[in-house]
Structures are given as structure tokens and as C-alpha cells.
Amino acid sequence: MMKNIQMLGVWVTATLMMHYTVANAQKYGIIPQPQSVVEREGEFRIDRKTVFLVSVDDSSFVEVAENLATRIKAVSGMKIYVKKGEGQSASKAVVFEKKEGMQIEEYALNISPRKIIITASHPNGLFYGVQTICQLLPPEIYGKRQTKGIRWSIPCCEIKDAPKFSYRGMMLDVGRYFMPKNFVMKFIDLLAMHKQNAFHWHLTEDQGWRIEIKKYPKLTEVGACRKETTGYEGAVGDGKPHGGFYTQEDIREVVEYARQRYVTIIPEIELPGHSSAAIAAYPELSCFPERNYEVPTGWGVKKDVLCPNAKTFMFLEDVFTELFDLFPSPYYHIGGDECPKDRWKESVYCQDLKKVLGIQTEDELQIFFVHRMDKFLREKGGKKIIGWDEILDGDAVPSTIVMSYRGHAPAMKALSRNMYTILTPNRWCYLDYYQEDPEKEQKSQGLFLPLKKVYNYYPISDTLSVDKHKFILGMQGCIWTEFIQTPDRVEYMAFPRTVAMSEVAWCDKSNKNWESFCERMVKEFKRLDQKEVGYSKAFYNVIFNFDRDEKYPKTLVLTLDMPKCIIRYTTDGSTPTSQSSVYREPLTVREGDCIQAQGFTAQGKPIGVEVSKIFK
Ligand code: ACM
């Protein structure tokens, strides 16, 4: 219970901003950018004389220190001793110090040549201090094996830091494509490394139910596998069965892994829509149990939804009761999006239920459904619910947290009712959208979302009245997997955009700077290499902006998001060189024209890869 109270505190505590300067941050290469970094002379070098001193008798502080010692041992072979209790001394020490009065995720670092002091009131803040130390170390600290010849030094400085937003999350859809447990843990580790604190696990979908529920074995025997994948309407199937699920043992392991990284796992059980896999396993959950159901093979919104009857409510209560034992998160996600009402309209039972409840519409029936589940989750599990923004259609439960995905309007509606909201507006936060030329990239969802657009997002608009700010808990990126079949593809789509997102959610607007971010990305890519993340480097490439529907001749605007670089281009089919024409103004292109473009640094060095396009 303590933990729950603490987490509640984490999410509803707004933080104050402090001073910082850009220049030193670039040198230190930390992402997300700390509030304040003051440069000092010298370095602290971790060697065999170094000891870790935990000044307080607090097992969570000791655990954070020991985990860092384990990491250092893994990559350097050096055994660092962790000494507990006050009054310890050492000639060279990292001190893990508890100080009352700091916010939950706040920390301070004082790094001098013989001593590092990490100060925090809570283990969450201490953990973030350690993440910053890791980023200050050579990237090999993130490696999988011991590396010889590395100087394990940390530049001296003083850092004060705390997040702007208390919810900093990522969602992964494992329903469309199952992602193995080990990958989920790698993903969580990458979130924690960037001080993100929420992993929203989209565990159930039309095309797959992914979590073992002991009382309902068919959910995974039947609901976790589809016979093939057909994609969107009309597509030809691939003929390959797809399936997978997490056992409750797996879930416990992942939850424990996340706990050690101060990441809260928010399970999502979709209701009443997006539930075809559950209905295929248990047809009695639908309004028409006598019909035949199978786990859908194609994407899109499905009409077979949960029927608001006693069997369904008993089923859901049983499912959540098993989940209460697995997920300590005080927040549970219940979906609520995209629930067509066709079946409820057809169903005599639903029409009668409307009369009994004295309601007129099927939308009100959905509100009844959600209210019932909210009551159960609150009263039996002590949980607060999060729902997709359809949850606002009608008389939403005031304690519900609204996840605003269809732009900002739902968030504004939630704020007008003084409801808490998490922003994930699709145009800025859906990381299944393209990040390079759709003609060149593997098929993705339709919109274009380059790294800079993610970075420039900010959850609070300039015009929002200050008294509403506290209702914006934070933001989240979403990875829907209709077109993301494998962990490698998740990595490519998620990184580096997730890194940008971590900075948006951690920093006050005044502390964000795209140029500085790009410079820090140089070190960040080395860190991601050590973590063996297969990220995209599309943001180094020239973007071709034109209207596909415009008639020829049409206007072509070339842009490059990398600061301090120029674009050179050719029109004769040759590869651009440092001597090619410099792009200065929009080009006029005719049908059949071929434009090839590449970015160059001020020193004439090419960046990224050449992008070419034949207009036809
Ligand atoms: C959603 O994108 N349907 C939440």
C-alpha cells in the first residue's frame, strides 16, 4: 500500500523548474537534459579503490547502489564494495545520501575528483541520479560484456534535476504481434535509462489475447493464436499462424524487472471493444453466443464486442482479480476506444437492458459498462482507471484518467471537467507512423512523424490557464504493431523517437533545445549501440516535401532537421558531392525529373544517406 501511495504522489506532484545552461549540457551529453548542470574541473575515475557508501539504512537505497556495482563489475571486472550505514569513510567514494524534503523523482549530484554524492529523498530520485552517472561514463557502461582499456571516468560537475511531468510513458501493443518477454524487458530497460517511468502494456486485442488467466484457459489456448495475418480489408493472408502469450510467471518476472528500474507497468485489458480474441475463446461473452467466432486475422475495428451482461462482468471481474495479484500498479488501463454498437443494437437483451436502466442510447450503455468496471477496480482493487479518450463520451467518472489520443480536443474536454489527462496525440506520439519516405520505408501507418516533430511537441499549450496545468500528468508514445512484426522493427520505429519523447516529458519547455539535443544524440547513438538497439538514423537525411496531389510542374521543398548543415542536390542522376548545387529555395519539378539530395556539414562532410526521388 505504501508503494501505491508513493506512486500516486509521483504522478500528481508537479515539479518546479530550475536554471540551466545549454553549453555544458552538450559537453556532458545527458538525455533527458537535466534542469541544471554546473561544470567543474577534473574527473572522478572509478577504480579498484572506489567504494560505494550508502549513508542510510534503507534497503531500496542499497538496492540501487548494488545494481550500479553489478553493472560496473559486468563491464569492467572491478568489484566495488557497497558499505552500509553512516560513519563509513573511504579515500574514494560514491555516497548514496538520503536527504529529506526532495520530490519523489528529484536528485542532486555533486561530482568531484575523490567523491561523488548522489542525494535524494526517495529511491526513485536516487535511481535517476545513477542513470545520469551512467550517461556521464563512457558508453561501454551499457555493454553486454567486459571491455578492456576503458577509462571509467566521470566529468566533475554539479547537477540538480527533477522531472517536469510525473507520467512519462510508452505503450507497446503486443496484441497485433506478440513480442517475447526478453524483448519487453529490454524495452523497459531502455525506458528507465531515459528516466521514463510508465510502461503501458497493451495486452489484449482483437487479434490476440496475450496474458495467461488461470480461470479462463481458453483465452490463451484459443485467443492467443490467429491462423494467419491478412492485414487491412482485402489483403491476402500470409498463411502463417501467429501467436504467443505471457504466463503469469513471465508477468511476475517482468514486473519485478520493471520495479527495480522504477517503471510502473500499467496493464491494459481492452473493453468493451477490441475483444474479439476473448469472444473467440468464450462466445458467451458476446451478445450472440450461438454464432461462430475465430480470432480475427485482419486489422481494423471489429463489430463483435463484449455484451454488457452478467457473464461478461463476472469474466472481467475474475480477470482483473488475477491481475491484481500480478500488477501492483495503482493505475489500470481499460481501453474503451473504438467500440461499434452494431451488436448491441441488434441484441434484444441490450435493448431490454436500456429500458431497465432508463437510458436511450447505446453510447449510454457503454458509459454504464465503464462505470461498472470503474467501481469494481476502485472498490476491489484500489485502482484508478485510465481510458482512451472515448471514455469522455458522456458522463465519465471524474476519477478516470483520460488518455487523449485523437489530438488535443479530448484533453481540453477532460481539463474543463478538472479530470487528469495523459497526452498521446497521434500526430506527435504514434511511433508507428513513418519517419522517412513512405516509398522507401517498409509499410507503416499513414502519417509522417520525423524525430524533430516529436521533439518539438509539448503537452501544455501556451494559452492553457495555469490552474489547469496540474491536471496534465504527462505524455506517452504509442507503438501500435499492425505493421511492426518483430522486436527489431519495434526498435527501428521506437528509436530514437522514444529518446526525444523522454526529453519532452522530463524537461520544462524552457529547457528544451533541438540543437543541443542533436549534439547529445551523437553520444546517445553510441549508448544505443552498446545496448544493441537497431535504431533509425532517418533524421540525418533530407526530407522531400511536396503535395502528391498537385499537378506538374509542382513545388518541391527540401528540408534537413540536423542543425548547422546544408543541403546539396543534383538533377542529373549523379550522387551529390560537396561540390553539388546548394539548396536555397523551393524547386520546381516536372514529371520524370530525378532529384538526389544529401546533407553536408559546414566542413563538407556528408551526413546521413543520399535521398533520391524520380517524380512520376
Ligand atoms: C487508439 O488509437 N485506438 C487508441
Task: Flag whether pLDDT at 18 surpasses 50.
Answer: no
Helix and strand element counts for the chain (H, E): 19, 28
Residue 26: its pLDDT value, please?
54
Task: Mark residue 385 as left, alpha or beta (left: phi above 0; alpha: psi -120 to 50; beta: remaining).
Answer: beta
Ligand 1: residue whose CA is nearest its atom 3: 337
Residue 398: its pLDDT value, please?
86
Q: Is ligand 1 within 6 A of the CB of residue 483?
A: no
Q: What is the largest CA-CA distance in the chain?
A: 79
Residue 11: its pLDDT value, please?
45
Gap from CA of 217 to ligand 1 centroid (Å)? 27
Q: Is ligand 1 within 6 A of the CB of residue 437?
A: no
Gap from CA of 338 to ligand 1 centroid (Å)? 7
Please, are residues 490 and 183 in contact by the beta-carbon 8 Å criterion? yes
As a whole number of angstroms, the distance between CA 393 and CA 402 comes to 11
Short-list 150, 156, 87, CA closest to 116: 156
Please report which helix (H) or strand (E) contains residue 497, including its range: helix 497-506
Which ligand 1 atom minimizes the distance to the CA of 480?
Answer: 2
Gap from CA of 220 to ligand 1 centroid (Å)? 23
Q: Is ligand 1 within 6 A of the CB of residue 388?
A: yes
Residue 437: its pLDDT value, please?
85
Q: Which three cell numbers stand for residue 216?
A: 479462463
Gap from CA of 430 to ligand 1 centroid (Å)? 10
Residue 396: its pLDDT value, please?
79
As a whole number of angstroms, the distance between CA 373 and CA 313 comes to 8
As a whole number of angstroms, the distance between CA 120 and CA 454 comes to 30
Which ligand 1 atom minimizes the distance to the CA of 337?
Answer: 3
User: Confidence class of residue 57 from pLDDT cuts 50, 70 and 90?
Assistant: very high
pLDDT in tens, 475-505: 999 999 999 999 999 999 999 999 999 999 9
Q: Is ligand 1 within 6 A of the CB of residue 338?
A: yes
Residue 24: its pLDDT value, please?
52
Ligand 1: residue whose CA is nearest its atom 2: 405
Q: Is ligand 1 within 6 A of the CB of residue 405?
A: yes
Residue from 200, 337, 422, 423 to probe ligand 1 pocket by mutation (most atoms less than 8 Å from CB): 337
User: Confidence class of residue 10 from pLDDT cuts 50, 70 and 90?
Assistant: very low
CB burial class (10 A; 0-12, 13-18, 19+) of residue 100?
A: exposed
pLDDT in tens, 319-348: 999 999 999 999 999 999 999 999 999 999
* Mean predicted lDDT score pLDDT of the chain: 94
Q: Is ligand 1 within 6 A of the CB of residue 337?
A: yes
Gap from CA of 337 to ligand 1 centroid (Å)? 6
As a whole number of angstroms, the distance between CA 369 and CA 396 comes to 11
Gap from CA of 336 to ligand 1 centroid (Å)? 9
pLDDT in tens, 414-456: 999 999 999 999 999 999 999 988 888 899 998 999 999 999 9
Q: Which three cell numbers stand for residue 569?
A: 542536390
Gap from CA of 369 to ligand 1 centroid (Å)? 19
Which ligand 1 atom minimizes the distance to the CA of 335?
Answer: 4
User: Confidence class of residue 3 from pLDDT cuts 50, 70 and 90?
Assistant: very low
Average pLDDT over residues 289-294: 98
Strand order of the β-sheet with 543-545 is 543-545, 554-559, 587-589
As a whole number of angstroms, the distance between CA 365 and CA 19 comes to 51
Gap from CA of 404 to ligand 1 centroid (Å)? 9
Q: Which tops the pLDDT comparison, 580 or 15?
A: 580
pLDDT in tens, 96-130: 999 999 999 999 999 999 999 999 999 999 999 99
Residue 14: its pLDDT value, please?
35
HSE at residue 388, side-chain half, CA atoms within 13 A, is: 21
Residue from 172, 269, 305, 388 to probe ligand 1 pocket by mutation (most atoms less than 8 Å from CB): 388
Which ligand 1 atom minimizes the distance to the CA of 426?
Answer: 2
Residue 7: its pLDDT value, please?
41
Task: Mark residue 181 as left, alpha or beta (left: phi above 0; alpha: psi -120 to 50; beta: remaining).
Answer: alpha
Residue from 299, 424, 480, 481 to probe ligand 1 pocket by mutation (most atoms less than 8 Å from CB): 480
Gap from CA of 443 to ligand 1 centroid (Å)? 19
